[in-house]
Structure 1
Amino acid sequence: MVAKNPLLSGRISLRKKFMATVINDIWPDIMFFTLVATAVHLVTTKTSLDLEVNNALLGVLGTVLGLVLSFRTSSAYEKYQDGRKMWSNVAIQCRNAAVLIWLHVPNERPAQNGGQAMSILEGIIEKKSMINLVQAFAVSVKHYCRGESGAYYQDLYPLISFLPRYSSHGGKTEADMLPLWHASEDREHPYDHTQSACVSPSASASGSPAGSLYSEAEAGITSGSARLTQSRQSSWFTRTRNHDYIDPEKVLPTVHVHRPLKPARNPPSATIYDYMPFLRIFRVLGRVFSKKGDNGVATRSMMNRKKPELGDSNVPLEIIMFLSGYADRLLRTGTMQAVSASALISSINALSDTLSNLERIGNTPLPFAYQAHLRMSLWIYLFFLPFQIESVMGYLTIPGTAFAAFLFLGFLEIGQEIENPFNYDLNDLDLDMFCLGIMREMNEITAHAVPESSKYVFSSYNQPFAPADRRSAEDLVKQGTEGYTHTGPGGHGVGSQPGLMSIERTLLKAWKDVDEHARR
């Protein structure tokens, strides 16, 4: 997403500045209508043929088209804003769920129902793993909204690789594979249902044979660096933003997988068809006469942007199932208080609702009949515009028509571009940065050891009664409530008697001071 004006920013390459606008989408249409206006002007001035058309409907049709274009752009921007709000909800609920898991679930747990007791280390490992699942939910939603199905991505698989691959009651066969993994497999890399394909990372690291397993550290991160080098070389100028060079996979767990992982970010490659859209007719004809199918490479559609279909495997739903099961077990075993468990379940349900809203935004485009009729009406209006204004504007008909085409077609294309804000266009929402922010927050939450409040409240750095009393909490505790008296400016006592009454008057004095300065 381009938040600032890329034309005035010196940290974005020239290619990205050009792609951030809609000029590359509409310039062939502008050239066509400019040529029409030029032909009308030359025929009218150089020959005796009069091509003038009555302009009685010019103002009426222009007003109607302007209102319709305004509605088109407004509806698209509303979906854009809805998408941003839903991703804010994802961040909020992930934050809430992580805090509830980390703070309200005890680390050490006694044995219950004939089971084994859980040590402090085991409790911390369990909670951190579930928080990793919360982070994985946000990442999976990003891929799901972009139509990238499956779980084998460099930023997703390391977070969910520990989830069970087979049902608990079945054997390790394809018939027992759970939906999360069964739907993620494809024909290129079928899963080997043998013990040799289930070697753990620690066993492989200690020298055990891993068969045909791929190491993410070798395959995934290396390919990410290769793509980074390629992106630097492919740009017109290498000046760009710093966050374009972030490689978040380096801070994720190093796991082993039986197939190479797909990149975390896989935007469609820009070709000559993106800068010269009228050449796409040759690509369409080539596909008609060619029997070659899709090779799986992400390419742009006829509208100069990738149109993602929602993935066939709902990985976010699978993660919600595991998180809901975890919350249910905490509630049934009494490990978590009922109020806290209810709050955790509410956060998980809110994540599910947000996923449904994101699906609604992604798979509800403007009806094709409306788009086609609006585009045809606009083309007819721009085509006959030079015939109506030639007698009034003369040679200015040419630049006037070009500007009118730029204005109307630009707004039409902007509405088309932001209608689905989950693509890879520069004006779409930056889902990768949203996921990076959630990843930082998840790790920031788990960085706290949750000490008792008594260990940091009564310190020499805390002045709880400021500004009326600027003594530290450590000094106040040493004095005690019976000996507490507040001394105001000049050594005059504020309270008439020591004890809690003086503390209350100190709090009142603090309110008066704050209220006086706030009103200024």
Structure 2
Amino acid sequence: MYDVNVTGTTTPSSIGGQHKSTRHMIEFDEYFVGPLDLDKHSKLPYFMRMHGSVLPRMIVPLLLITSWATLITCISKFVRNLGVQTILLTVLGFVVGLALSFRSSTAYERYSDGRKAWATLSVQSRNLARYIWVHVDERPGHEKEDLLAKVTGINLILAFALALKHKLRFEPYQHYPDIASLTSHLDTFAKAASEAPEAHVERSTTPWKRAGEFLGMSMAISNPRKTIKRATKPLGNFPLEILLYLSAYIEGVSANGSLKSPIILGQVMNSIAALTDTQASAERVLTTPLPLGYNILISQIVLIYTYLLPFQLFGALGWVTIPATTAASYIILGLAAIGNELENPFGNDVNDLPLDVYCEQLRKEFDIITATPAPKLDQFWKGGEGDENQNKPLWPLSSSGVDQWRGRSVGDIRSALKAKVVIGDGVLNNTETNGPAVVGA
């Protein structure tokens, strides 16, 4: 913790909204929900881990299949042999493998596309923040207003990322803790809708419903779009509205002369356009699942195959049919379950993308950018006072600072630069043991 003597500042614990730090421990109720905390490191081998496993979602199906295998085995053992030729294992196994391969590859492709979209958002957000902080000048006589406006513009970039995160999770309002303070001054549809009573209704769940969600039972899983359907006021498009204000800021600094370079202005507008494209890419991943017909057919194929296993295995395995069916079903159902879980990479499951972490990382990076005034060339190219703080432009060939090299001719400097190439990699290796190659040169 730290103290800052500024009235109205927030404490570190109040920043970050819904993201909670769980660096050293995982609560039981967070063990099977996520997204995954990237700061954690588990020493357990993968086959022993439960955090992120789809096993909880497979408990009920595996119990049903094991009971079915037990029933078929007992009937075949004591009443009538129900075993059939194992040719179906080969024929149906090929079809099931093909279907699961298609399901898994398309699901991971969506997961990868979601990560690529967010990586593009991170790159363009950093570029925009850098352009604003370095290339938007603070006009004489208006330094305070221009500085606060620059910080506001950078905050809008972070607000866009947070708003997109909430939109992809079907959270359409403005009152969420991590974004409310950043956008309270903006006139948006999301803010107006947040004032309605239904926006603050907490979702009530019974123990049975929570258990059903934990076990992955489709009848117990709530409709994620329920909040949107319940809204009585227009929700608008919160990320897009934030980009409108960001564009208005760029228009303002261009008009008042704070942003002078037309080249930088073009780069800034390209970055804002790229953010719009990123939103469209993420929404494409969210709203274009595998066609319903494929999902239904693959689920039916998997179900039929697993329930036919006891009939095909009994003749060769006898009582071992029961555990063999359970093991085979675990493999087949596991591949199907992980495909279902990866299909929407923007949710709150352990295997979903950690969007909270990505947004928090952006916030920290923006704080780093704005922590010090934008660097000026005259302030850093020479370096500071003292030999150890001086810029050493020809290191590791020479340990001399800029002041010493300024006393040389242009020809000497170019000759030294050529010498770095001629000496090659040996310069750095020699420097690590014996110091610079040309001491005091």
TM norm structure 2:
0.79
Cα offset, 1:373, TM superposition? 1.2
Structure 1 Cα separation of the partners of residues 379 and 155 of structure 2: 29
**Secondary structure of the structure 2 residue equivalent to 1:463:** coil
> Pairwise CA RMSD of aligned residues?
3.1
Contact 1:79/1:361 (8 A) holds in 2: yes
Deviation per residue, 1:302-328 (Å, 9 max, x gap): 8xxx57887943110000011112222
Corresponding pairs, count = 381
1:417 matched residue in structure 2: 341
> Structure 1 residues 434, 359: CA separation in 2 closer, same or farther (over 3 Å shift)?
same
Cα offset, 1:97, TM superposition? 0.6
2:254 matched residue in structure 1: 331
Q: Which amino acid aligns with 1:476?
A: W
The answer on 1:161 being equivalent to 2:192 is: no
Q: Which amino acid aligns with 1:418?
A: L
Structure 2 Cα separation of the partners of residues 158 and 273 of structure 1: 36
Structure 2 Cα separation of the partners of residues 456 and 313 of structure 1: 46
Deviation per residue, 1:32-77 (Å, 9 max, x gap): 1112221222222223x12012222320110111011011011001
Structure 2 Cα separation of the partners of residues 83 and 77 of structure 1: 10
Cα offset, 1:424, TM superposition? 0.6
The answer on 1:403 being equivalent to 2:318 is: no
Q: Which amino acid aligns with 1:472?
A: G
1:468 matched residue in structure 2: 397
Q: Which stretches in structure 1 are left out of the alignment for 5+ residues?
A: 110-117, 166-177, 190-259, 284-299, 485-498
Cα offset, 1:376, TM superposition? 1.1
Contact 1:308/1:423 (8 A) holds in 2: no
**Secondary structure of the structure 2 residue equivalent to 1:366:** coil
Q: Which amino acid aligns with 2:210?
A: T
Contact 2:134/2:375 (8 A) holds in 1: no
The answer on 1:44 being equivalent to 2:76 is: yes
1:2 matched residue in structure 2: 36
The answer on 1:54 being equivalent to 2:89 is: no
Structure 2 Cα separation of the partners of residues 261 and 308 of structure 1: 11
Structure 2 Cα separation of the partners of residues 75 and 370 of structure 1: 11
Matches within 5 A, 1:96-495: 96-108=127-139, 119-163=142-186, 165=187, 179-188=189-198, 271-276=210-215, 300-301=221-222, 312-336=235-259, 337-459=261-383, 460=387, 461=389, 462-477=391-406, 480=407, 484=408
**Secondary structure of the structure 2 residue equivalent to 1:271:** helix
**Secondary structure of the structure 1 residue equivalent to 2:178:** coil
2:415 matched residue in structure 1: 505
Deviation per residue, 1:478-513 (Å, 9 max, x gap): xx1xxx2xxxxxxxxxxxxxx221211111111223
**Secondary structure of the structure 1 residue equivalent to 2:174:** coil
Structure 2 Cα separation of the partners of residues 410 and 394 of structure 1: 25
**Secondary structure of the structure 2 residue equivalent to 1:57:** helix
Contact 1:422/1:428 (8 A) holds in 2: yes
1:292 matched residue in structure 2: none
Structure 2 Cα separation of the partners of residues 475 and 268 of structure 1: 76
Cα offset, 1:392, TM superposition? 1.1
> Structure 1 residues 7, 50: CA separation in 2 closer, same or farther (over 3 Å shift)?
farther
Contact 1:24/1:274 (8 A) holds in 2: no
Contact 2:165/2:355 (8 A) holds in 1: yes
Structure of higher CA gyration radius: 1
More helix by share: 2
| Mean CA deviation greater in 340-349 or 310-319 | 310-319
Q: Which amino acid aligns with 1:453?
A: L
> Structure 1 residues 413, 7: CA separation in 2 closer, same or farther (over 3 Å shift)?
farther
**Secondary structure of the structure 1 residue equivalent to 2:424:** helix
**Secondary structure of the structure 1 residue equivalent to 2:313:** helix
Structure 2 Cα separation of the partners of residues 277 and 354 of structure 1: 31
Q: Which amino acid aligns with 1:467?
A: P
Q: Which amino acid aligns with 1:161?
A: S
Structure 1 Cα separation of the partners of residues 202 and 363 of structure 2: 19
Contact 2:100/2:336 (8 A) holds in 1: yes
Q: Which amino acid aligns with 1:360?
A: R
2:24 matched residue in structure 1: none
2:53 matched residue in structure 1: 21
Cα offset, 1:436, TM superposition? 0.3
Deviation per residue, 1:225-282 (Å, 9 max, x gap): xxxxxxxxxxxxxxxxxxxxxxxxxxxxxxxxxxx8999xx9999822234566x76x
Cα offset, 1:474, TM superposition? 3.1
Equivalent residue for 2:104, pick from 62, 73, 82: 73
Cα offset, 1:78, TM superposition? 0.7
Contact 1:38/1:398 (8 A) holds in 2: yes
Structure 2 Cα separation of the partners of residues 87 and 268 of structure 1: 35
> Structure 1 residues 307, 422: CA separation in 2 closer, same or farther (over 3 Å shift)?
farther
Cα offset, 1:472, TM superposition? 1.5
> Structure 1 residues 188, 52: CA separation in 2 closer, same or farther (over 3 Å shift)?
closer
**Secondary structure of the structure 2 residue equivalent to 1:21:** coil
Contact 1:146/1:310 (8 A) holds in 2: no
Cα offset, 1:182, TM superposition? 2.9
Identity %: 31
Q: Which amino acid aligns with 2:350?
A: L
Contact 2:243/2:272 (8 A) holds in 1: yes
Cα offset, 1:339, TM superposition? 0.8
Deviation per residue, 1:411-433 (Å, 9 max, x gap): 10100001001111011111110
Cα offset, 1:455, TM superposition? 2.3
**Secondary structure of the structure 2 residue equivalent to 1:85:** helix
